[in-house]
Amino acid sequence: MASGIFAVLDDIAALMDDVSVAAKIATRKTAGILGDDLAVNAEKATGFLASREIPVLWAITKGSFINKLIIVPIALLLNAFFPVAIKYILILGGFYLAFEGAEKIIHYIFHRQKKAIEVVKEQEEEGEEAENKKIKSAITTDFILSVEIVIIALGAVQELHQSMAIQIVTVSVVAIIATVGVYGIVALIVRMDDLGYSLIKKSNNKGFGNAVGNALVKLLPIIIKALAVIGTIALLLVSGGIFVHNIDYFHHFLPNIPSIVKEFGVGLVAGLVVVAIVTLFQKMIGSKPKAH
């Protein structure tokens, strides 16, 4: 009886060792997309009233966990029975990310930037409906990025020729790390100013604590603006990367250009095309006479 228990424990230990090695490799391969995920989601989780930042972030985090619960089993099943579908799902997701990135650029160029007081007033007036809309948008973007993360992790594990059990556990571990890691860092970013004010208060406006507190308070708006830019670039890079790696024409297109430049350019052009199509469609719908 005892020997049987020890044999089971040895099997579990061996499985965990294999999972640990596979998870390290998969996490390393998804590092780039995780960085993009962080930039995109940090930008999407900011811009709310201070009292709503943590509730909004928690809502997005829960949505991200649900995304992973949906994506991981579907990705594993598709990979086992219908692997070609994964490619087309990625490409569709790439068009969505490209659209979001291009739309942000167009909005920045052609729309007047609102002053801080206008943003606060707008948030107070729009209330729950606008907040829910932003949360939904963030969760949708997270879904597309999560698909990319899960598929890259799954591909990394398959390269090691691991069993199905190790594939399932490893991809699940990477998915959990992605959610906890990304949104944990985002939470730290959005609460930087609170930490800064706390340090200033405790230090009685003097000394090292005061200097650090003031630095954190001043850094937050700079980081938020930087994340808006980085997040937009990340959306276009991820989408362009999806197209370049999954569409043969783009994979062999302009081979002498650095991959990062090609991926950004492809993502931007695709995004502008989608924005034009969506805008045209909206105008056509808006121009139709309403039924009486």
Give CA–CA dist 104/7, Å, rounded.
Answer: 57
**Could you tell me if 60 and 37 are in contact, meaning their C-beta atoms sit under 8 angstroms apart?**
no
Give CA–CA dist 198/75, Å, rounded.
Answer: 45
Least confident of 4-13, 141-150, 200-209: 4-13
Q: How many CB atoms lie within 10 A of CB 150?
A: 26
Give CA–CA dist 50/37, Å, rounded.
Answer: 23
Query: Tens digits of per-residue pLDDT, 234-270?
Result: 888 888 888 988 888 887 888 788 888 998 999 999 9
The structure's pTM equals 0.70
Mean pLDDT value across residues 8-15? 48
Q: Scanning the structure block, which residue is given the tokens 């509730």?
A: 55
Q: How many residues does this entry show for the chain?
A: 292
Which backbone phi and psi does 70 adopt, to 5 degrees? -80, -45
Give CA–CA dist 182/21, Å, rounded.
Answer: 21
Q: With CA atoms as reference, report the closest residue to 63 among 206, 224, 179, 193.
A: 179
Mean pLDDT value across residues 212-223? 83
- Please say if the pLDDT value at position 9 is more than 70: no
Provide CB contacts within 8 A for 147, sequence distance 6+. 71, 75, 89, 90, 93
Query: Tens digits of per-residue pLDDT, 158-200?
Result: 766 667 777 788 888 888 888 888 888 888 887 787 888 888 8
Query: Tens digits of per-residue pLDDT, 30-80?
Result: 666 666 667 776 766 666 666 677 788 888 889 988 998 998 888 888 888
The 10 Å CB-count burial string (b at 16+, else e) for 185-224 is ebbebbbbbeebeebbeebeeeeebbeebbebbeebeebb
3-state secondary structure string across 108-140: HHHCCCCCHHHHHHHHHHHHHHHHHHHHHHHHH
